Structure 1
């Protein structure tokens, strides 16, 4: 396959790094040349995200994977243009939009700050039959278990339960809500498998593709982390506390309100991809692939640090 990856942020770099380990050809489309891309075994193409330019860059590709995020107007226009460029292209008829998210099949209104914008793009995809597409739901990326200096993804502060600086773990209510964690590498390998199966067999793609590396309750995750490092402390967080922060943030037009909106998901199972919905590792589409467990992921990180 020849896979186009659109975007060059942190998530894109993680996915592209894994894509480049496969036998597939990888093309990265970005608006500017970034130093972080120089070591990738991928072809770098510049784009202005217009339909005409995207069509030219996607015309020889089999599928396109987007990692583009906001602002809202850009998210809508860029994804609308990618969809139209695919329609006009010779062979690029598979599209994975930028979701990289929670269980949006059951919680399409989360996270609050981006749901409406993403729903516009989702409706555009649903209303056409020319391009096969699916949204990837993996829960949280496992990389957020790592301290900031080792986490290749963007720092998001209170949006995630773990404060690595203070070693404080936010416990939402009773901590019995479930959270699914999937490494970026596992997600990347699964994406390639999903696309390869559809391209080779002509099979349709479901609107949502669930992946699940490992699922735990927040309470169990805390205990696992604390067993490895007893310095971690649990910090109880109430629903009223988060709602108050959102209310005050909206009144003050505080950009950090989005962080607190993400915390709402910790009180629900929005971060949980149920086993019955997630693709099963090692069989079917994911034949030959296995998921990395939390313990294994942390062991690998520590082993890398010791080298």
Structure 2
């Protein structure tokens, strides 16, 4: 299939590497040329993300997948333009919006504010257009590559407690009693699953992917055991996390607000994907794919260099 990927950030790199391996002709939609895409021999189509331009750029594509994580109204505008372009093209009738998140199907009330404000208008538009464009939302919890230090993953570090593992300082932030669950799914395995789903016609509204579900205490034990040396464990109460959100709101910086709100998820069930639904969908849609657990990711990192 001829598939367009919107965006050229950290997450997209796993998609650009994996899609050609599954036989898909892959096209990048990007505002500016990217060297890593040239190195991968990926066709780059420069776009301003207007409906008119996207309609032209997507005219010969079978589907578009977004890995864009813009802020505020920009995120909504780009995705609505992608949807409208799909509706106007005769061929590109499949779209996967940029979600890659926790269990918004079961726990929509726990969704972070920044995410709800930027994703819900897109979900509403997708539902309202009925069957003109086929779509699904991927729910995968956290990407398990975050258990690796910088240099072994494409993702950048998350500061201000947005992710509990700080490899540089060797500090682990424990959310409350650490018993809340978190599903960790590899971004690379997610890209492989999306590539396989393109071969199917029977998409569901939500697609659940689950590598492994652990608690934060479990994750702390894995990190301590596998990384060697001492780690400082910093306990953070829910009240502390709420205060950080309030302070970030006053500060006004997008990055601080996002990381503060991500931290709140560590006290809830939002990070846990529906394991039974993920199992059913895996058997139906991805029977020949293996979704790696945390230990497997770490084993792979230990056996070879570079990005995992």
Same fold (TM over 0.5): yes
Q: Deviations over 1:53-110 (max 9, x none)?
A: 1111111111110111222221111111111111111211110001111111123352
Partner residue in 1 for 2:129: 128
Aligned mates of 1:279, 1:137 — CA distance in 2: 13
Aligned mates of 1:183, 1:147 — CA distance in 2: 15
Residue 168 (1) aligns with residue 181 (2): no
Change (3 A) 1:253 1:4: closer
Q: Deviations over 1:177-235 (max 9, x none)?
A: 1111111110011111222112xxxx2x2221111111111111111121112423322
Aligned mates of 1:132, 1:241 — CA distance in 2: 42
Give the secondary structure class of the aligned counterpart of 2:213: strand
Change (3 A) 1:25 1:252: closer
Partner residue in 2 for 1:227: 225
TM-score (norm. length: structure 1)? 0.93
Partner residue in 2 for 1:147: 149
TM-score (norm. length: structure 2)? 0.93
How far did residue 279 of structure 1 move? 4.4
How far did residue 31 of structure 1 move? 0.9
Give the secondary structure class of the aligned counterpart of 1:95: strand
Segments of structure 2 that go 5 or more residues without pairing to the other structure are: none
Give the secondary structure class of the aligned counterpart of 2:248: helix
Q: Would you say the 8 A contact 1:20–1:41 is kept in 2?
A: no
Greater mean alpha carbon deviation, residues 172-181 or residues 278-287: 278-287
Aligned mates of 2:280, 2:259 — CA distance in 1: 32
Give the secondary structure class of the aligned counterpart of 1:188: helix
How far did residue 254 of structure 1 move? 4.5
Change (3 A) 1:281 1:224: farther
Give the secondary structure class of the aligned counterpart of 1:246: helix
Partner residue in 1 for 2:107: 107
Query: Structure with the greater relative contact order (CA < 8 A, sep ≥ 6): 1 or 2?
Result: 2
Aligned pairs for 1:65-214 (under 5 A) are: 65-109=65-109, 110-129=111-130, 130-157=132-159, 158-198=161-201, 203=202, 205-214=203-212
Aligned mates of 1:266, 1:282 — CA distance in 2: 26
Aligned mates of 1:214, 1:242 — CA distance in 2: 25
Aligned mates of 1:281, 1:85 — CA distance in 2: 29
Partner residue in 2 for 1:49: 49
Aligned mates of 1:242, 1:27 — CA distance in 2: 41
Number of residue pairs matched by the alignment: 301
Aligned mates of 1:55, 1:254 — CA distance in 2: 34
Residue 285 (1) aligns with residue 285 (2): yes
